[in-house]
């Protein structure tokens, strides 16, 4: 084995004396930490800027009534985006989520209206259809090794055709089942909203404490200090949102409108549940491992094929759930259900919120943050009567900025910077 010369050792010394993690000895910059300690900070700052700009332009933007309406509007996209996050964590993509959401909502509507199936069973069968679709596409991608881009693009076309076929010549099915239409449009009693908020905050803090305790037992350093600040901010946001929705949003009319909309509660519960699944369960660790390096995960004994199939199935199931919620909000399913901006908004929500397109990094909360950004832009521009063309261009610019940041920080990490 060759030994280094004195000159080579002298050249290597500055690198060892520099900041850790840098080969050239230069101090770490701010950019490499953006997706680490403060990954959510750019999104939160963006939301703050959006709120300030639209509040100045239209004082109605930050009223409890409009903010509650905004949360209700983003509920279907937020749920679909959770499924997108699961697939993106694998380093894959699902282009069929919009068509799947519309088709499964149509399955529910046809069963409920034309065949008299109870609402709860019709909704369950619609979501079950989504799970089967995801299972089919996951097997085709993982077992037959066909790229997910191609499989789900074919699914986008196929399930869109299935939507037109199942609706038939009428093209529209109006919903009337109280349970189905109440999934989004009803409101929880005020005390139930506060109880759910307190439970969610307690779960967030207990989960963080549990994770810290496990790290200490394993002899690992504690998590980033910014995590506590972000956790406190998230808790304040949850409690503040419930306080806002518990105030009367109809001060000039009777009866008063108070309470958390059921759709918003469903969205937050799904986010919290899948955050627990991805961060605190073996399946979640497997998803991150496969997304980080499928070959390394396979050598470590992880059933890569089964993990991929399960993630695609859950992603399509959540797309179906989003379609059910969208139908509940609009009281109907028609030939355009799941079309238009649904697919692009769902992917944009996940990516803008901080989930990497390259796999292995992200969280279900990023779906909520990204959906808030997109929804706030759309809501604010609607209040200002801006043309849809302007909204599309701004949303596209925000998405491009998020992907550019993701690519830049990933390249810095790969270079050891």
Residue 58 inside a domain? The answer is yes
Residue 15 inside a domain? The answer is no
Q: What is the pLDDT of residue 208?
A: 80
The pTM of the full predicted model, rounded to 2 decimals, is 0.86
Residues in a beta bridge with 333? 173
- Write the DSSP assignment of 311-359 as a string of letters: HHHHHHHHHHHHHHHHHHHHTEEETTTT-TTHHHHHHHHHHHTT--TTS
Q: What is the pLDDT of residue 414?
A: 65
Domain that holds residue 278: 37-186+261-414
Q: Which of 97, 95, 103 is nearest to 150 (CA)?
A: 95
Residues in a beta bridge with 187? 261
Number of Cβ atoms within 10 Å of the Cβ of 153: 15
**How are beta strands 332-334 and 172-174 bridged, if at all?**
antiparallel
Q: What is the pLDDT of residue 223?
A: 65
Residue 230 inside a domain? The answer is no
Q: What is the pLDDT of residue 226?
A: 64
Domain harbouring 286, CATH code: 1.10.3470
Name every residue whose Cβ is closer than 8 Å to that of residue 85 and which is 6 or more positions away in sequence: 274, 350, 355, 362, 363, 364, 366, 367
Name every residue whose Cβ is closer than 8 Å to that of residue 225 and which is 6 or more positions away in sequence: 37
Residue 206 inside a domain? The answer is no
Q: What is the pLDDT of residue 36?
A: 41
Q: What is the pLDDT of residue 31?
A: 36
Residue 201 inside a domain? The answer is no
Residue 14 inside a domain? The answer is no
Residue 243 inside a domain? The answer is no
Residue 241 inside a domain? The answer is no
pLDDT under 50 in the chain at which residues? 1-38, 417
Number of domains the chain contains: 1
User: What's the CA dihedral at 141, 341, 71, 40 to 10 degrees?
Assistant: 60
């Amino acid at each position: 084995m060759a030994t280094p010369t004195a000159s080579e050792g002298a050249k290597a010394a500055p690198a060892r004396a520099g900041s850790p993690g840098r080969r050239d000895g230069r101090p770490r910059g701010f950019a490499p930490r953006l997706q680490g300690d403060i990954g959510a900070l750019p999104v939160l700052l963006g939301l703050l800027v959006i709120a300030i700009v639209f509040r100045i332009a239209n004082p109605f933007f930050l009223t409890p009534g409009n903010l509650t309406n905004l949360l209700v509007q983003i509920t279907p996209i937020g749920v679909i985006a959770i499924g997108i996050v699961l697939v993106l964590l694998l380093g894959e993509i699902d282009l069929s989520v919009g068509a799947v959401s519309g088709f499964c909502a149509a399955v529910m509507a046809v069963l409920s209206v034309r065949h008299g199936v109870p609402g709860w069973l019709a909704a369950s069968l619609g979501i079950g259809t989504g799970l089967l679709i995801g299972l089919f596409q996951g097997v085709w991608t993982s077992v037959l090794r066909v790229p997910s881009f191609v499989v789900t693009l074919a699914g986008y076309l196929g399930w869109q055709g299935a939507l037109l076929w199942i609706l038939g010549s009428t093209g529209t099915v109006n919903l009337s089942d109280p349970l189905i239409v109440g999934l989004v449009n009803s409101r929880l009693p005020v005390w139930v909203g506060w109880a759910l908020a307190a439970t969610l905050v307690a779960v967030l803090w207990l989960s963080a404490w549990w994770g810290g305790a496990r790290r200490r037992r394993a002899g690992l350093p504690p998590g980033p200090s910014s995590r506590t600040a972000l956790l406190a901010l998230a808790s304040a946001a949850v409690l503040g949102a419930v306080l806002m929705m518990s105030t009367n949003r109809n001060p000039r009319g009777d009866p008063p409108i108070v309470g958390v909309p059921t759709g918003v509660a469903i969205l937050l519960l799904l986010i919290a549940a899948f955050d627990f699944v991805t961060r605190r369960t073996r399946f979640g660790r497997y998803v991150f491992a496969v997304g980080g390096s499928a070959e390394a995960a396979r050598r470590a004994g992880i059933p890569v094929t089964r993990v991929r199939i399960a993630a695609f199935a859950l992603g399509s199931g959540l797309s179906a759930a989003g379609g059910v919620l969208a139908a509940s909000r609009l009281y109907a399913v028609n030939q355009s259900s799941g079309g238009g901006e649904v697919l692009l908004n769902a992917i944009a929500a996940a990516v803008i919120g901080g989930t990497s397109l390259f796999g292995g990094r992200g969280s279900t909360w990023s779906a909520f943050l990204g959906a808030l950004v997109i929804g706030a832009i759309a809501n604010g521009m609607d209040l200002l009567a801006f043309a849809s063309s302007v909204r599309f261009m701004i949303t596209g610019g925000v998405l491009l900025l998020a992907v550019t940041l993701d690519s830049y920080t990933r390249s810095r990490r790969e270079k050891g910077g």
